[in-house]
Amino acid sequence: MYLQNETLRLRALEPEDLDILYRWENDPRLWTVSCATEPYSRYILKEYIAYSDKTIYEKKQLRLMITLRQGGTVVGSIDLTDFDPFHMRAGVGILIDEQYQRRGYAGQALRLLTDYALHFLKLKQLYAYVPSDNGASRALFIKNGFTQSGTLRSWLREGDSFKDVEIYQLVER
């Protein structure tokens, strides 16, 4: 079965996710990787959740909440972005809430999403942009079969400086 294993379930956004989305989307520490430059209002996030009833083919993205199967606690979210059915590819983004990091949830969620994307959506490739100073994310993607295919120099602005971003790809042969 897609989108779940013994530990985790990836599920669609629900109205009760508003509070945790509000916290994540308004955390300036996460803005660099999400390319956000300003806070989001509860109203905007409520609209975003309401809009999530559209298919990935309509909105070109899919956000899934990563939950524990036992109890349903939300531990993070995982996204398919820039969905391109013609070229059969999509970007991947993942966030594990700080209190649930280093428990293996990111790898499990990435494997579930990869299986869904490649075998159900029939995509040929997934890719991720990872800041070069984010060793944990780099290791996550490498461990799950992605290979580094390039570096974007001075790609992300953080304060008064810029940092490189590495591109990781998983290509089905």
Q: Which domains does the chain have, with CATH numbers?
A: 8-127 (3.40.630.30)
Residue 27 CB partners (closer than 8 Å, separation 6+): none
Global pTM exceeds 0.75: yes
What distance lies between CA 142 and its chain's CA centroid?
16
Cα–Cα distances (Å) from 138 to 48, 127, 165, 168, in that order, read 29, 12, 10, 8
Query: Starting at the edge strand that comes first in sequence, how are the strands of the sheet with 161-171 ordered?
Result: 8-11, 62-68, 74-84, 89-96, 125-131, 161-171, 147-158
Q: Indicate the average pLDDT of the chain.
A: 93
What is the average per-residue pLDDT within 138-162? 95
Predicted confidence (pLDDT) per residue in 39-80, tens digit: 788 898 988 888 888 899 999 999 999 999 999 999 999 999
Compute the distance between CA of residue 27 and CA of residue 30 in angstroms, rounded to an integer. Answer: 6
Q: What pLDDT is recorded for position 35?
A: 65
Two tokens, residue 33: 């990787």
Q: Which of 131, 123, 129 is nearest to 146 (CA)?
A: 129
Cα–Cα distances (Å) from 2 to 5, 71, 114, 123, in that order, read 8, 19, 10, 15
